[in-house]
């Protein structure tokens, strides 16, 4: 298998390391020539400064796009049009219409299009997903997410909802195995150009609810969620990957075997290309997350709930 990577910045350097370890990386591309050269040389693969140069000289099966959100749609379109399997970092596109277009091209060309909703591959989420699916502690009724950290200063094109809350939106859809039909949000900005704090409420069937709280203001990195079930509250930490189950006065702590979610996510895309696995995030699910993020921004601007009818 031959894989290329576009974008080798703060997050992309992790993909480069893993793809090289897995022995599938053949070329990198970054418009910043220092970066493309640095990673090309570090991992002994070809390097390019433009997508056109990469497309005209490399032979490959799939590509990772790890560039800023506003650039995803154009790069993905070019790759899908030449029938490459594509993994795009989250959120898949800035606008949901751009995402819908990518879905159509991927379907037409019969290639895989997926998006980096990495928390599905986090053992802390996986263990809760299994408990919910087996109804180990009854029915899942409510989800509460907290994701707080000072803003990563290099993110210049989107606010916290598109950059950060989208992880929890996708995790909520995944754990409920459903799409919300109503979104209500309040967001504001204290220090940044775009919104830097947000509270989002997602309403699902049967009155089930997810509440997502994100901020780029407070200094401590915190990423946790609670799954309120009819017989217990399950609390999980995305960072430590520890899960606690509270039932009456009985508290059980589960320390999952710590694993790197990015490695599991990348492996699952490579397996999908080889036809071994169909568990990748579906492109339409990623488009839906963008639609929910758009609805959250609109709800916050207008002060009203936004009703959705998602596929
Ligand atoms: N899944 C996660 O947990 C997670 C974490 C961080 C970032 N991300 C996502 O990864 C993506 C990149 O984020 P980052 O933090 O690495 O950003 P970054 O700014 O650190 O890196 C982006 C890189 O892309 C390059 N680039 C920009 N436009 C390009 C183009 N047209 N062609 C080729 N290269 C181009 C830049 O030179 C830079 O090196 C974003 O979509 C972000 O949302 C995901």
pLDDT band at 256 (very low <50, low <70, confident <90, very high): confident
When the pLDDT of each residue in the chain is averaged and rounded to a whole number, the result is 96
- pLDDT at 216 > cutoff 80: yes
Residue owning the nearest CA to atom 33 of ligand 1:
30
* CA 57/CA 54 separation, integer angstroms: 5
Q: What residue segments make up the domains of the chain, in order of their start?
A: 3-117+267-274, 119-256+288-307
How far out from the chain centre does Cα 273 lie? 19
Instruction: Compute the C-alpha angle 181/98/36, nearest 5°.
Output: 125
- Pairwise CA distance, residues 57 & 274, whole Å: 23
Mean pLDDT (whole number) for 170-181: 98
Ligand 1 atom index nearest CA of 11: 16
Per-residue confidence (pLDDT) for residue 199, from 0 to 100: 98
CATH 3.40.50.720 assigned to domain 3-117+267-274? The reply is yes
Element (H, E) at 25: strand 25-29
Interval 179-204 mean pLDDT: 96
Confidence of residue 153 (pLDDT cuts 50, 70, 90): confident
Residues with CB under 6 A from ligand 1: 6-12, 29-32, 35, 51, 66-69, 71, 75, 89-90, 116, 118, 154, 163
3-117+267-274 and 119-256+288-307 share one fold = no
- Residue 93 CA to ligand 1 centre (angstroms): 13
How many angstroms is it from 310 CA to the middle of ligand 1?
Answer: 28
The pair phi, psi for residue 195, each rounded to 5°, is: -60, 135
Task: Give residue 90's pLDDT.
Answer: 97
**What pLDDT is stored for residue 154 in this prediction?**
72
d(CA 107, ligand 1 centre) in Å: 25
Q: What is the pLDDT of residues 48-92, one digit of tens each?
A: 999 999 999 999 999 999 999 999 999 999 999 999 999 999 999
- Rounded distance from Cα 154 to ligand 1 centre (Å): 9
Tell me the per-residue pLDDT of 279-294, one tens digit each, with 9 for 90 and over. 899 999 999 999 999 9
Q: What is the mean pLDDT of residues 215-236?
A: 96
- CA 102 to ligand 1 center in whole angstroms: 19
Whether 186 and 300 have beta carbons less than 8 Å apart is answered as yes
| SS3 assignment, position 261 | helix
Average pLDDT over residues 214-234: 96
Q: What class, spelled out in words, does domain 119-256+288-307 have in CATH?
A: alpha beta
Q: Hey, whose CA ends up nearest to atom 27 of ligand 1?
A: 67
Residue 158: pLDDT band (50, 70, 90) is: confident
CA distance 254 to 202: 28
């Amino acid at each position: 298998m031959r894989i290329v990577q576009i974008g080798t910045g703060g997050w992309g350097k992790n993909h480069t390391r893993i793809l090289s370890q897995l022995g599938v990386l053949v070329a990198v591309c970054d418009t910043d020539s220092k970066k493309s050269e640095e990673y090309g040389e570090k991992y002994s693969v070809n390097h390019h400064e433009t997508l056109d140069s990469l497309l005209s000289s490399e032979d490959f099966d799939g590509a990772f796009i790890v560039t800023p959100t506003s650039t995803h749609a154009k790069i993905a379109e070019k790759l899908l049009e030449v029938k490459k399997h594509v993994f795009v970092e989250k959120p898949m596109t800035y606008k949901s219409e751009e995402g819908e277009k990518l879905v159509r091209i991927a379907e037409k060309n019969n290639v895989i299009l997926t998006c980096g909703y990495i928390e599905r591959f986090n053992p802390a989420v996986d263990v809760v997903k299994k408990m919910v699916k087996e109804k180990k502690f009854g029915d899942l009724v409510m989800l509460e997410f907290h994701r707080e950290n000072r803003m990563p200063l290099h993110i210049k094109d989107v606010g916290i909802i598109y950059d950060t809350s989208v992880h929890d939106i996708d995790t909520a859809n995944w754990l409920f195995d459903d799409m919300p039909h109503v979104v209500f949000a309040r967001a504001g900005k204290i220090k940044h150009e775009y919104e830097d704090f947000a509270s989002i409420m997602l309403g699902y069937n049967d009155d089930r609810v997810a509440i997502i709280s994100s901020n780029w203001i407070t200094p401590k990195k915190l990423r946790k969620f609670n799954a309120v079930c009819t017989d217990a509250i399950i609390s999980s930490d995305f960072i430590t990957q520890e899960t606690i189950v509270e039932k009456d006065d009985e508290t059980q702590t589960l320390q999952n075997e710590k694993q790197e979610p990015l490695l599991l996510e990348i492996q699952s895309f490579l397996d999908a290309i080889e036809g071994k696995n169909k568990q990748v995030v579906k492109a339409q699910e990623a488009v839906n997350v963008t639609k929910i993020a758009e609805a959250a921004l609109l709800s916050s601007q207008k002060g009203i709930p936004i009703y959705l009818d998602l596929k």
